[in-house]
A and B are shown apart, each in its own frame.
Chain A
Amino acid sequence: GAGVSQTPSNKVTEKGKYVELRCDPISGHTALYWYRQSLGQGPEFLIYFQGTGAADDSGLPNDRFFAVRPEGSVSTLKIQRTERGDSAVYLCASSLKGGQYAFFGQGTRLTVV
């Protein structure tokens, strides 16, 4: 596709459930980033992939959060045992390589009830 695509756009889940959020980056972009954005806040860094490997996962808040990018393209952010505090918009971005012009997806709004 022409841009970064994220699915689903919205996800409502019950506390304690497992969720997966998908990001389809721009073709050819080797760098992929996940962020979490709460209302009125800036994008909070979660994890950065260079190719298939997680080059920096220092932003993941705890071990309930995990992300993969097995073929160096599509990435999935996985959240186990969701908590109400996980509610936020999860943004994905990609760039040709790290530290360059990054394009954002439209985000997935996660609501944990």
Chain B
Amino acid sequence: GENVEQHPSTLSVQEGDSAVIKCTYSDSASNYFPWYKQELGKRPQLIIDIRSNVGEKKDQRIAVTLNKTAKHFSLHITETQPEDSAVYFCAASRDDKIIFGKGTRLHILP
């Protein structure tokens, strides 16, 4: 079955700098890659997603890139702000169950 690896587990960046979180997946048939943000005590919420027929997608300060050959995908957050502090999860799916990575705790330092 699908296995999603995510790193780093913890990431600290200065406010205004960029943050990058990387994931790999094992099932080459996976075709949908969402990213979720979870604040303390709250439910995960989708922030951006990408399908395998697209290499990159951008939404304001957030972008996701996908390398199907290497089975890698990454989340890029630019101009980080205090409200970006949270746990971020990547996930992969092939039109069925959605498998999540273990998460990255992002700290934005003042």
**Interface residues, chain A, CB within 8 Å of chain B?**
33, 35, 40-45, 48, 50, 55-56, 58-59, 91, 93, 97-107
Known contacts A42-B89, A58-B1; A101/B46 CB under 8 A: yes
**Cβ-neighbour of B95 out of A33, A35, A44, A98 (below 8 A):** A98
Q: Which residue of B lies closest to A47 (CB)?
A: B97
Q: How large is the interface on B (under 10, 10 to 19, 20 to 34, 35 or more residues)?
A: 20 to 34
Q: How many A-B residue pairs have CB under 8 A?
A: 61
What residues of chain B lie closer than 8 Å to A107, measured between beta carbons? 43
**Interface residues, chain B, CB within 8 Å of chain A?**
1, 6, 31-32, 34, 36, 42-46, 49, 89, 93-103
Please name the 6 residue pairs, one residue from A and one from B, whose CB atoms are nearest each other, closest first.
A99-B95, A99-B93, A48-B97, A104-B43, A98-B96, A42-B100
Beyond A93-B98, A98-B95, A98-B96, 19 additional pairs, beta carbon < 8 A: A33-B98, A40-B103, A41-B103, A42-B100, A42-B103, A43-B89, A45-B98, A48-B98, A56-B97, A58-B1, A59-B97, A91-B43, A98-B93, A99-B31, A101-B49, A103-B46, A104-B44, A105-B43, A106-B42
CB <8 Å contact, B43 and A43: no
CB <8 Å contact, A104 and B45: yes
CB <8 Å contact, A45 and B100: yes
Give B51 Cβ to nearest chain A Cβ, in Å. 9
Complex CA distance for A103 and B42, rounded to whole angstroms: 13
Give A52 Cβ to nearest chain B Cβ, in Å. 16
CB <8 Å contact, A41 and B43: no
What residues of chain A lie closer than 8 Å to B1, measured between beta carbons? 58
CB <8 Å contact, A101 and B34: yes
